[in-house]
Amino acid sequence: MSHQLIKFAAYGLLFVLGLGLTHTLTQEQLLEQNKERTARHASALKDYIQSEFGRYSTIVAFLSESTLVQQALKSAQEGNVADRYLSDVQQASGASDIYLLNAEGTVVASSNSHLPHSYKGNNFAFRPYFDRAMAGETVIDFALGQRSMRRGFYFSKAVDFVGGGRGVIALKVNASKFETDKARLDTGEKSHFALLDVNEVVLLSDNPDWQLRASKALSAKKQQQVAQSQQFLGQAINPLDWRWLSDQPQFDSQPSGQLITKQRRYLVSSSTLADTSYRLLMLSPIVPFNEVHAARLGLAMLLLLLLIVLIEYLSVKVAGYRQLLFSQRSLEEQVQERTQELEQAQDALIRATKLATIGQLSASVNHEINQPLSAMSAYVAACKRLLMRAEPDKAMENLQLIEQLIRRVHAIAAQLKSFSQKRPVKMQRISLQQSVQNALLVVGPELKKHHVSVQESGLEVPVWVDPYQFEQVLVNLLSNACQAMEHAQDKWLRLEASSKEGKVYLSIIDNGPGIDQHALSTIFEPFYTTKSEHGLGLGLSISKQIIESFQGNLSAHNHHDGGAEFLLSLHQQEPQL
């Protein structure tokens, strides 16, 4: 009973953890998608507002260069003409009002001069945008209209005219224009935006409850600065009920955050408008649970139930398998005892076989180095005779040959070891002619003893081999050929080489009896030999391994003119694998 409770508790924990993980991963994925969507919508709205700001700044710059506007500053008689001109520009541009102020801040021409609330004759010298424009700046400022109390952006620039006079051209755009145009942009039905100034006051927003309120409570110093600027005409700036869940985003380098209002939780994307101190916030609602969550949780529940069923099924199978293993264990213990006895007997046989093999290899080593030792004996005898005849130069040549043969004996002994122990191959491009001559030095005495003549043709080609291993192969093949012609009358060996498509083909042909047909398929197998008195038959097997390590091939067949032919295929340079 206790075991069943633990199992059901484990299944319940797996179920809860699976659903929790699915919910968490889904929430994180949807949040990332929301971040991307919010950033994209914020970028679109930012581009729109910046383009509109740029357009109105361009209009103001154009008007500041207008001759008609400059004349209206210089002469009051031109005021009526300038009024009509500014009215036409105002209607074409979508601006709320355009007006011209003289050096004292008094309006001398206005697009609304024909309306009851005309600005003409009013003085706006108290506005910050007037002082900054008179100082030479191109100004974008925000304020409440003195008469209309409507929020608006003021674009202003100084107007200079001949004679040294200066005034200011100002263009006002109602804030509601940007808030209305936002609806035409694809920024999401439930998203909101807010444009904040340096004091964190919301200047623009499609949510009326946020307009002219601060994202956080203003300090006493900032409240005093706002009051002195008369930007909001004494209207109180109250804080919003915003609570930031993470660090409040301030700059483009910290573009996102989250906040909670009374209504809901928002993901916030923040960016600064170019050439201004305004900061644009795009707020997208974060939905804690939606149809995507429901679908994924439903799928996760189904998969978890299937997983639990599968685990239960496998646990039953595993229990049965364990029972079977327990039943087999006693039989296995008996088999192990018998196996250990057999392994001990097999080890004894292996040790005996190794001892026999070592003895046979010792005889094989003696056979493989017999030819160079015989050659060294002949050269030593020749040296004695040359020294007795006072011919040291020729004796020195023989001693040099003996030195080469000694090195060759070491190399030959090492090659037999390569059958059971692989050593690194030191490949290089060498002369085939030189390798053949080195091999003939070793088997030369044996060839002379049996009166074997050697014919060479086409050997002036390079081959890509390990020199010592390749010369050992040549020595083995030449020695075998010499022994095969033991009973022939006229004994000769032909070494013929040809090259084609980057490969060299070397044929070693003798005029012996050839190779028995049944032996052609087994001649390269280890320990195969037809000469029981000469070693273990490792020579051809090792030779084939060596040639194949060069990426080449060694084959044997009977020549059409009689005798045996061994064909070596080699590369002229390093092969590209």
Are 87 and 166 part of one and the same domain? Answer: yes
Q: Are 443 and 561 within one domain?
A: yes
Q: Which residues form the domain of 337?
A: 291-368
Within a domain: 254: no
Q: Is residue 31 part of a domain?
A: no
Can you give the CATH number for the domain in which 135 is found? 3.30.450.20
Per DSSP, the residues of 442-484 read HHHHHHHHTT-EEEEES---EEEE-HHHHHHHHHHHHHHHHHH
Q: Are residues 359 and 427 in the same domain?
A: no
Q: Are residues 354 and 469 in the same domain?
A: no
Helix (H, G, I), strand (E, B), or coil: what is residue 107? Answer: strand
13 — phi, psi (to 5°)? -65, -40
Which residue is listed with tokens 């707020």?
Answer: 283
Q: Given 338, 368, 398, which residue is the final one in a domain?
A: 368
Q: 468: domain CATH number?
A: 3.30.565.10
CB proximity list for 175: less than 8 A, separation 6 or greater: 142, 150, 151, 152, 153, 203, 204, 211
Tokens of 52: 């509109």
Q: Are residues 331 and 462 in the same domain?
A: no
Whether residue 428 sits in one domain with residue 362: no
User: Are the C-beta atoms of residues 243 and 259 closer than 8 Å to each other?
Assistant: yes
AA letter at 260 = I
Whether 78 is covered by a domain: the verdict is: yes
Are 441 and 472 contacting, i.e. CB atoms less than 8 angstroms apart? Answer: no
Note whether residue 524 is domain-resident: yes
Residues 139, 133: contact at Cβ < 8 Å? yes
pTM here is 0.49
Q: In this structure, how many other beta carbons lie within 10 angstroms of the beta carbon of residue 308? A: 17
- 499, 562: one domain: yes
Tokens of 493: 């060996």
Q: Which residues, including other chains, have CB under 8 Å from residue 377's CB and lie 6 or more apart?
A: none
Are 364 and 435 part of one and the same domain?
A: no
For 408-440, letters b (16+ CB in 10 Å) and e give bbebbeebbebbeeeeeeebeebebbebbebbb
What tens-digit pLDDT sequence spans the chain (577 residues)?
A: 577 788 778 778 877 887 778 777 776 777 777 778 888 888 888 888 899 999 999 999 999 999 889 888 887 666 688 899 999 999 999 899 999 999 999 999 999 888 888 888 899 998 889 999 999 998 999 998 877 788 999 999 999 987 778 999 999 999 888 888 766 665 556 788 889 988 889 988 888 888 888 888 888 888 887 887 788 887 888 888 888 776 555 544 445 678 888 768 888 888 888 888 899 988 888 776 656 667 777 777 788 788 878 887 887 888 777 778 877 787 777 778 776 775 564 344 334 433 333 343 344 446 557 767 877 888 788 888 888 888 888 888 888 888 887 887 776 565 445 444 455 668 999 999 999 998 887 787 778 888 899 999 999 999 999 988 898 889 889 988 888 888 888 889 999 999 999 999 999 999 988 888 877 777 887 765 655 444 444 578 888 888 998 999 999 999 888 889 999 999 999 887 6
In a domain, 412, yes or no: no
Between helix 2-64 and helix 291-368 the angle, nearest 10°, is 110
How many domains in the chain? 3
Is position 184 within any domain?
no
Let me know whether 564 and 431 are in one domain. Answer: yes
Same domain, 550 and 433: yes
Last residue of a domain, one of 151, 172, 193: 172
Q: Which residues pair with 143 in a beta bridge?
A: 152
Asked whether residue 356 is assigned to any structural domain, the reply reads yes
Same domain (yes/no): 469, 557: yes
φ, ψ of residue 92 to 5 degrees: the values are -70, -30
Residue 566 within any structural domain of the chain: yes
Asked whether residue 552 falls in the same domain as residue 472, the answer is yes
- Helices 291-368 + 392-417 axis angle, to 10: 140
Q: Is 369 helix (H, G, I), strand (E, B) or coil?
A: coil
The residue from 330, 345, 368 where one domain ends is 368
Contact 456, 476 (CB under 8 A): no
